[in-house]
């Protein structure tokens, strides 16, 4: 964390700490949280929470929202903290930089994090570019300006469609195209997706964007587009995640559940072939 003023280390009452306002990173009460609570109860909080002093007698958390939640669940009353003196824009940049390295960040978390950092840097007089993407390279050491531009576009999606991106029901590239639809057009699209039980392909999303920009996108045109057969479209077997989630550990991600199911199917196939040979 870069700042000209060194931090001050103190033990702070936990009831004086507040989550950073509108921060995009989710804090989940999952199996990993339970493990963190257990670690804190047995070993204490090993890494101080990074905060900044607000205009009141409270402190705003910059890094350590999961640790703060775990300490609250563990009943800890005071926590070690590093107190930095910085304004909100500097704090936003530090907040984003300290969280972007986390694994399993959702597209929506990255989207709003990059947008927050871009706006904070703009307030500081640092160019981030509204059209060109090269200057956005300064927002991240790991992702290109073009990719960051795609993520920021996701912030223009309505919450329901953005959630579908997080749930991997809609891929990133089609979602970027859909972000150019107006809010009312996105609502019409959402209603059509629910009634038809489908999502638009990249080609369909591009067509929807063109129709929107031409001012001729209507509910009928959306329905007509989504009812068109997709390339390489075949019969699909669908599962609702909520129907199978209870079969897996709480800390399993969607990707890990899918991988496990495929591994089990491969094992089933081997056993079935072996039995078939034995019966001959």
Q: What is the pLDDT of residue 126?
A: 58
Question: Is residue 103's pLDDT more than 80?
Answer: no
Look at residue 4 and tell me whether its pLDDT is greater than 70.
no
For range 43-49, the mean pLDDT:
92
Q: What percent of the chain has pLDDT over 90?
A: 53
pLDDT digits (tens, 9 = 90+) for 48-71: 999 998 888 889 999 999 999 999
pLDDT of residue 131: 39
pLDDT value at 93 more than 80: yes
**pLDDT reading at 237 higher than 80:** no
pLDDT at 153: 96
Three-state SS string over the chain comes to CCCCCCCEEEEEEHHHEECCCCCCCCCCCCHHHHHHHHHHHHHCCCCCEEEEECCCCCEEEEECHHHHHHHHHHCCCEEEEEEECCCHHHHHHHHHHHHCCCCCCCHHHHHHHHHHHHHHHHHCCCCCCCCCCHHHHHHCCCCCHHHHHHHHHHHHCCHHHHHHHHCCCCCHHHHHHHCCCCHHHHHHHHHHHHHHCCCCCHHHHHHHHHHHHCCCCCHHHHHHHHCCCCCCCCCCCCCCHHHHHHHCCCCCCHHHHHHHHHHHHHHHHHHHHHHHHHCC
Better-predicted residue by pLDDT, 168 or 273: 168
Q: Is the pLDDT score of 1 beyond 60?
A: no
pLDDT in tens, 194-203: 999 999 999 9
């Amino acid at each position: 964390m870069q700042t000209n003023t060194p931090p001050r280390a103190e033990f702070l009452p936990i009831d004086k700490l507040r989550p950073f306002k509108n921060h995009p990173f989710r804090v989940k009460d999952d199996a990993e949280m339970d493990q963190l609570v257990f670690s804190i109860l047995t070993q204490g909080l090993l890494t101080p929470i990074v905060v900044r002093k607000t205009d009141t007698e409270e402190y705003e958390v910059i890094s350590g929202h999961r640790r703060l939640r775990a300490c609250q669940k563990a009943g800890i009353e005071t926590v070690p903290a590093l107190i930095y003196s910085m304004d909100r824009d500097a704090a936003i940049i530090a907040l984003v930089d300290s969280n972007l390295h986390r694994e399993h960040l959702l597209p929506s978390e990255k989207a709003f994090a990059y947008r927050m950092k871009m706006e904070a840097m703009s307030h500081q007089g640092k160019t981030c570019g509204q059209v060109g993407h090269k200057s956005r390279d300064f927002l991240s050491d790991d992702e290109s300006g073009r990719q960051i531009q795609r993520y920021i576009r996701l912030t223009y999606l309505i919450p329901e469609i953005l959630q579908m991106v997080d749930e991997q029901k809609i891929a990133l590239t089609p979602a970027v195209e859909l972000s150019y639809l107006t809010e009312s057009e996105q609502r019409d699209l959402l209603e059509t997706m629910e009634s038809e039980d489908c999502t638009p392909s990249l080609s369909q999303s591009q067509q929807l964007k063109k129709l929107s920009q031409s001012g001729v996108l209507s509910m009928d045109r959306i329905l007509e587009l989504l009812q068109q057969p997709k390339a390489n479209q075949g019969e699909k077997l669908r599962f609702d995640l909520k129907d199978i989630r209870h079969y897996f550990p709480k800390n399993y991600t969607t990707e890990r559940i899918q991988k496990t199911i495929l591994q089990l199917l491969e094992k089933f196939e081997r056993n079935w072939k072996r039995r078939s040979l034995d019966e001959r």
